[in-house]
Structure 1
Amino acid sequence: MGASKIQQHIKLDLALIRDAIAIENEDAKSADALGYMARVLTQCTIPHRNPKTRFYKRTNGDLTITIADVNEVGMPYGSIPRLLLAWLTTEAVITKDRTIILGDSLNQFIRSLDMIPSGGRWGTATRLKDQMARLFGCTIGYKVENDSSLHLAQTKIAREVHLWWDPRQPEQTTVWNSHVMLDHDFFEEIIRSPVPVDMRALTALKRSPMALDIYIWLTYRMSYLSRRTEISWEQLQLQMGAGYGFDEHGRENFQKAFTKHLRIGAYGLQGCPGQPGARPPGSASQSHPHPKNPVAGLHLIDPSSIRSQVIHRSLLTGEVIHE
């Protein structure tokens, strides 16, 4: 690795540490950084990389989600659709309106996602508009099946989309605001049971789809645990191992990728009860996960040892201490 690459990695690590300290010192609500994510997409994630297929299936326990590219625009993948979904869900929860206004310029919207505007073939303007077409053009199928029951449902994220932006002129304002009308069923789902997240964490982790998935899933999972729970590598891979095979080679690559983001070794996880608390505006008594410090109380499981490691502080720094 060259000197410039090393310096770049050091800068990124320092930025993550600064973000982690800021999140540790001030919770999301106080920092005006409280956002939300669609719960169903924390249970089964979208692809990390371009699957180059028109159908994509994920299974987690009794739940199977199938994403279909019905408009032949490609399958959504990577960090951008995840940031889009968090932004859209947050807007829907706050406004209680199916119609989400995106603004009158593409660069304005790029900045609202905490991304840096850039042009060209691989610039953020081009990539964002492409991923929006992929995300809003797909259909999502749900199947919940066990020994005694079967439930099937289909939905889309968007009922109608109007984008008036030109990626070649991303700063240019338009006469009409670009907007998205969310599908009725999707809208009802996200305002009924959204997952609170810290938008500062999403911004800090946006370079990695897997890091985003880990953060969002841990925030959700830790909130409702009522007892110590062991989570096997197989369960983790079913949850967020998009693109990794289930043979020995695929499992090994998934473990390497997962532990790279948490920096915690390779045995598995054990969850202790979390701290429910954050509720979306207007909610009644239902409890939702608190977005601050989601990995407090997670333990690594080493079957060959009595000792375990404890994740301390937050996902962003991934610091490890020993019991």
Structure 2
Amino acid sequence: MSGEIDAGVRQLVLVHGRAKAKTMVEPEHRSLVDITAEVLADDEGKIGITYTGFCLTSLPHKRLPDEQLWEKEGHKVTLTIEPGRIKRAGATQAKYIGVPYGARARMILLYLQTQAVRTGSREVELGRSMRDWLGRMGLSWGGETGKALREQAARIAHCHLKFSWEGEEADGWVKGGFVRSGLRFHAGGRNDSQGELWEDRVVLDEVFYDSLRRHPVPLRETALRQLAAKSASLDLYIWLAYRLHTLQKPTPVRWSALAQQFGSNYGRLRSFREHFSKALAPAVAAYPEARVESGDDGLLLFPSRSPVAPKLVSLGASKPPVQGPGLWPKR
């Protein structure tokens, strides 16, 4: 695979519209047409927020052994997550419940970060607000999805983390958590329709919240919805949303560097490239402004407009958003 990724799909949608464009591509690319069309048709411009550190590192995609620590290296930053413990009723000792993983954990974290920055408070109201937001992301409350959401919420609430930054402008902490209190699902019942599946609020960890406020990265809510079930594509979209609009010139990224940041459990670089390319296509489809080329040596990233208009990104941040701690050149 080489050349600019999904530029053809984007152009087809713009010129011919969704229905006609879907007849002009291979069957396996029709989902990319749908993603691009949804994002291009978005007139509301609602946004989500994440912390800079999550643009360069990420949670695991699959479940790890409950007692296993997670460590992920990115460019000048390392994320370490220690699993928490819960003592069940009647148990003699607490047991590990594992680190958060997968797309659902990412969506819960995105909601908490978005609301905290939007309201300027580390106390995030839940109830109907969170229920409605996750509903817009296509995450239903019943059956296996609801069970998975409750499990990931518990993992998030009990784990401990640290972002370790390199360099003189290091920004991180020795040990902290995603949340200080709250974030517990109730099993539900008669009052489900009233949005009472949740405690009233979550209080984010103070140090994490302060870092989030200083380094927020804006994301397009419609894009998040399109990628809500694709954890690898979601990570790549978040990375590109942070990376591309800060560039001043075309920048190559070698496959070996991409494998270090995004690879996991791939025995060969060729195997990683195949999986990476499959995950990258939906991410770029959800970011129509992105200009990315793929070649034998890796990716070539071009300066691209942010997926979110600058006028929408004030949100009370104490410093200009999307500028990490000395990682990329400012524009």
- The TM-score bracket by the shorter chain reads 0.7 to 0.9
Q: CA RMSD in A?
A: 3.2
1:31 maps to which of 31, 39, 44:
44
User: CA offset at residue 104 of structure 1?
Assistant: 5.9
Confirm whether residue 98 of structure 1 aligns to residue 116 of structure 2.
no
How many correspondences in the alignment?
270
Instruction: Provide the rounded CA distance (Å) in 2 between the counterparts of 1:94 and 1:233.
Output: 36
1:22 maps to which of 38, 43, 51:
38
Confirm whether residue 226 of structure 1 aligns to residue 244 of structure 2.
no
2:113 maps to which of 89, 92, 96:
89
Q: 2:316 maps to which residue?
A: 282
User: CA offset at residue 32 of structure 1?
Assistant: 3.5
Instruction: Provide the rounded CA distance (Å) in 1 between the counterparts of 2:27 and 2:155.
Output: 32
Identity %: 25
Confirm whether residue 48 of structure 1 aligns to residue 64 of structure 2.
no
Provide Cα deviations, 1:78-115, integer angstroms capped at 9, x if missing partner: 10111112111110111111111110699656425431
- Partner of 2:240, secondary structure, is helix
- CA shift in 2, pair 1:116/1:172, >3 Å: closer
Instruction: Provide the rounded CA distance (Å) in 2 between the counterparts of 1:92 and 1:56.
Output: 25
Q: 1:178 maps to which residue?
A: 200
Confirm whether residue 159 of structure 1 aligns to residue 193 of structure 2.
no
Contact 1:54 1:70 in 2 (8 A): no
- CA shift in 2, pair 1:109/1:170, >3 Å: farther
Q: 1:270 maps to which residue?
A: 300
- Counterpart amino acid of 1:79? A
Provide Cα deviations, 1:120-151, integer angstroms capped at 9, x if missing partner: xxx1110000001111211112323469x997
The TM-score with structure 1 as length reference comes to 0.73
1:244 maps to which of 247, 265, 283:
265
Instruction: Provide the rounded CA distance (Å) in 2 between the counterparts of 1:215 and 1:118.
Output: 28
- Counterpart amino acid of 1:178? D
Of 98-107 and 125-134, deviating more is 98-107
Contact 1:231 1:271 in 2 (8 A): yes
Unaligned runs of 5+ in 1: 1-9, 290-323
Q: 1:115 maps to which residue?
A: 139
Q: 1:294 maps to which residue?
A: none
Provide Cα deviations, 1:213-252, integer angstroms capped at 9, x if missing partner: 11110110102112221101121122222x324xxx3423
Confirm whether residue 131 of structure 1 aligns to residue 155 of structure 2.
no
- CA shift in 2, pair 1:107/1:36, >3 Å: closer
- Partner of 1:231, secondary structure, is strand
Q: 2:102 maps to which residue?
A: 78
Instruction: Provide the rounded CA distance (Å) in 1 between the counterparts of 2:236 and 2:322.
Output: 17
Instruction: Provide the rounded CA distance (Å) in 2 between the counterparts of 1:42 and 1:152.
Output: 17
Contact 1:129 1:167 in 2 (8 A): no
Instruction: Provide the rounded CA distance (Å) in 1 between the counterparts of 2:171 and 2:208.
Output: 20
